[in-house]
């Protein structure tokens, strides 16, 4: 069957296609607040750093989504639960949002916060992020983004429902806020860039997501495989854009085991 987009805004509209979508943000807010009460984070300025009890095994990074226009790390604290249960610290970077900031600025600021957290936490670094955060997670392993000493410690990158080619977003109403032009869309699209070699990359996307998100996930895995990287695209059956991240809270989930290196 031919695939052609005729409504660009609907192609990237998640909530309109998820039952009871309006219940997710209140649930996340409550779960995140309860998690912070039980696990007070260290302050990173814009972001939060959660530490497990006992010896540290490494640093997991989760970068939040919201189409680079919405939300902050406080909504997602509970997603550090899987990492902490496995003895990993977890940093949730914050970043300025559009229209005040360009996506290139967000890339730089997220990299700075990861570097700051890496200066506090020794060991391997596992990168993940969701949606726009998945885009930023992928950008972190493009050469020249993270400091070399930090990039050398990255053992896995798992962009979840990532946006990997920003050029289609220029056709949406969101671009009134994002202000993407052709040059920035090209320079900030991971699928149009090269990854650092030696880092396994797994794009992870829900099987019930909008077709565009599945296409973006496959695109990055395919493009980077063609450059010599070890990649896989995992389509999580039945998961949609809002619940595909729930595995991050569960240390035994396939998502967490892939991220922390406990499976192939």
**pLDDT one-digit tens code per residue, 20-29:** 999 999 999 9
User: Does the pLDDT at position 181 exceed 70?
Assistant: yes
CA 227 – CA 113 distance, rounded (Å): 28
What's the rounded mean pLDDT across residues 104-109? 98
Total count of domains within the chain? 1
Domain span including residue 91: 8-259
**Residue-level pLDDT at 262:** 72
Kindly state whether residue 202 falls inside one of the protein's structural domains: yes
Q: For 154-170, how does the pLDDT look when each residue is reduced to its tens digit (9 = 90+)?
A: 999 999 999 999 999 99
Domain with residue 201: its CATH number is 3.40.50.1820
Kindly state whether residue 239 falls inside one of the protein's structural domains: yes
CA 187 – CA 212 distance, rounded (Å): 20
For residue 174, which of 112, 99, 62 has the smallest C-alpha distance? 99
Counted residue by residue, the chain has a size of 264
Other C-beta atoms lying within 10 Å of the C-beta of residue 238: 9
**Residue-level pLDDT at 264:** 40
Tokens of 43: 């302050």
The whole-model pTM stands at 0.98
What's the rounded mean pLDDT across residues 228-234? 98
**Mean pLDDT over the full length of the chain:** 97
Q: For 121-137, how does the pLDDT look when each residue is reduced to its tens digit (9 = 90+)?
A: 999 999 999 999 999 99
CA 132 – CA 137 distance, rounded (Å): 9
Kindly state whether residue 94 falls inside one of the protein's structural domains: yes
Kindly state whether residue 208 falls inside one of the protein's structural domains: yes
Kindly state whether residue 3 falls inside one of the protein's structural domains: no
For residue 142, which of 182, 199, 89 has the smallest C-alpha distance? 199
pLDDT band at 263; cut points 50, 70, 90 = very low
Kindly state whether residue 146 falls inside one of the protein's structural domains: yes
Kindly state whether residue 1 falls inside one of the protein's structural domains: no
CA 33 – CA 209 distance, rounded (Å): 27
Q: Supply φ then ψ for residue 246, to 5 degrees.
A: -65, -25
What's the rounded mean pLDDT across residues 230-235? 98
Kindly state whether residue 2 falls inside one of the protein's structural domains: no
């Amino acid at each position: 069957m031919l695939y052609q987009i005729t409504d660009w805004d609907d192609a990237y509209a998640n909530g309109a296609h998820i039952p009871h979508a309006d219940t997710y943000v209140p649930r996340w807010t409550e779960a995140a607040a309860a998690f912070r009460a039980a696990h007070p984070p260290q302050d990173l300025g814009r972001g939060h750093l959660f530490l497990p009890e006992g010896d540290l095994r490494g640093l997991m990074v989760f970068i939040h989504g919201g189409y680079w226009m919405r939300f902050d790390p406080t909504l997602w604290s509970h997603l550090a639960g899987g990492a902490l249960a496995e003895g990993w610290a977890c940093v949730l970077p914050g970043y300025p949002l559009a229209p005040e900031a360009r996506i290139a600025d967000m890339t730089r600021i997220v990299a700075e916060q990861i570097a700051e957290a890496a200066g506090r936490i020794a060991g391997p670094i596992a990168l993940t992020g969701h949606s726009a955060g998945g885009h930023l997670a992928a950008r972190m392993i493009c050469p020249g983004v993270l400091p070399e000493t930090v990039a050398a410690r990255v053992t896995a990158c798992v962009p979840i429902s990532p946006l990997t080619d920003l050029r289609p977003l220029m056709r949406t109403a969101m671009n009134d806020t994002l202000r993407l032009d052709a040059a920035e869309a090209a320079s900030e699209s991971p699928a149009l860039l090269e990854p650092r070699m030696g880092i396994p990359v797994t794009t992870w996307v829900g099987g019930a997501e909008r077709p565009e998100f599945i296409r973006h996930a496959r695109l990055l895995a395919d493009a980077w495989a063609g450059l010599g990287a070890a990649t896989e695209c995992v389509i999580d059956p039945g998961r949609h854009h809002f619940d595909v991240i729930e595995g991050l809270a569960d240390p035994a989930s396939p998502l967490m085991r892939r991220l922390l290196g406990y499976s192939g």
